[in-house]
Amino acid sequence: MVNGSTELVAIVGSPIAQVKSPENFNRWFEGNALNRVMLPIDISAQALSSFIDTLRGWQNLRGCVVTIPYKQQVVEHLDELSERARALRSVNVIRREADGRLIGDNVDGEGFLNAGRQQGFDAKGKRALVIGAGGVGSAIAYSLCQAGVSALSLSDVSHERVEALAQLLRSAFPGLPVSTRVDSLSQFELIANASPVGMGDSGELPLPQALLQSLPASAHVADVVTAPEITPLLALAKARGCSIQTGPQMALAQAGNLGHFMGATALVL
Ligand code: NAD
| CATH number of the domain enclosing 28 | 3.40.50.10860
Q: Yes or no: say if 96 and 55 are a contact pair by the CB < 8 Å rule.
A: yes
Instruction: Report yes or no on 268 lying in a domain.
Output: no
What pLDDT, on a 0 to 100 scale, did the predictor assign at position 266? 82
pLDDT of residue 196: 96
Torsion of CA 185, 188, 189, 191, to 10 degrees: -60
Pairing of the two strands 127-131 and 151-155: parallel
Residue 2, exposed/middle/buried by CB under 10 A (0-12, 13-18, 19+)? Answer: exposed
Q: Are residues 102 and 48 in the same domain?
A: yes
pLDDT at 122: 97
66 beta partners: 12
224 belongs to a structural domain: yes
pLDDT value of position 269: 73
**119 and 208 both lie in a single domain:** yes
What pLDDT was estimated at residue 225? 96
Residue 133 lies in a domain: yes
pLDDT of residue 131: 98
Are residues 240 and 201 part of one domain? yes
Please check whether residue 114 lies inside any domain of the structure.
yes
Count of domains in the chain?
A: 2
Q: Residue whose CA is closest, atom 12 of ligand 1?
A: 132
Which atom of ligand 1 lies nearest, measured to the CA of 111? 40
pLDDT at 246: 97
Q: Note whether residue 84 is domain-resident.
A: yes
Q: What is the pLDDT along the chain (269 residues), one digit of tens a residue?
A: 999 999 999 999 999 998 989 999 999 999 999 999 999 999 999 999 999 999 999 999 999 999 999 999 999 999 999 999 999 999 999 999 999 999 999 999 999 999 999 999 999 999 999 999 999 999 999 999 999 999 999 999 999 999 999 999 999 999 999 999 999 999 999 999 999 999 999 999 999 999 999 999 999 999 999 999 999 999 999 999 999 999 999 999 999 999 999 999 887 77
Nearest atom, ligand 1, residue 136 CA = 26
Residue 269 lies in a domain: no
Instruction: Residue 133: count other Cβ atoms within 10 Å of its Cβ.
Output: 28
Nearest alpha carbon, ligand 1 atom 31: 196
Closest residue by Cα to atom 2, ligand 1, is 134
Q: Are residues 44 and 97 in the same domain?
A: yes
Environment class of residue 230 by beta-carbon count within 10 Å: exposed (0-12), middle (13-18) or buried (19+)?
Answer: middle
Rounded to 5 degrees, what are φ and ψ at 54?
A: -65, -35
Same domain, 123 and 243: yes
Q: Residue 62: what pLDDT?
A: 97
Q: Which residues are catalytic?
A: 71
Co-location of 20 and 40 in the same domain = yes
Show the domain range for 98.
7-106+250-262
Q: Are residues 143 and 233 in the same domain?
A: yes
What CATH number has the domain bearing residue 193? Answer: 3.40.50.720
Ligand 1 pocket, CB under 6 A:
108, 111, 131-137, 155-158, 161, 194-197, 199, 206, 224-226, 247, 250-251, 254
On whether the CB atoms of residues 182 and 155 are closer than 8 A, the answer is yes
Based on the fold, state whether residues 122 and 78 are members of the same structural domain: no
Contact 179, 154 (CB under 8 A): yes
State whether 128 and 243 are in the same domain: yes
Q: Do residues 91 and 64 lie in contact, with contact meaning Cβ atoms separated by under 8 Å?
A: no
Rounded alpha-carbon distances, angstroms, from residue 6 to 3, 26, 31, 62, 85: 5, 12, 15, 11, 30
Domain identity same for 114 and 191: yes
pTM for this entry: 0.94
Residue 239 has a pLDDT of: 98
The verdict on 113 and 241 lying in the same domain is yes
| Reduced 3-state DSSP string for 68-110 | CCCCCCCHHHCCEECHHHHHHCCCCEEEECCCCCEEEECCHHH
Report strand pairing: 61-66 vs 93-96.
Answer: antiparallel
For residue 1, being part of any structural domain is answered with: no
Judge if 245 and 113 occupy the same domain.
yes
Q: Would you say residue 127 lies in a domain?
A: yes
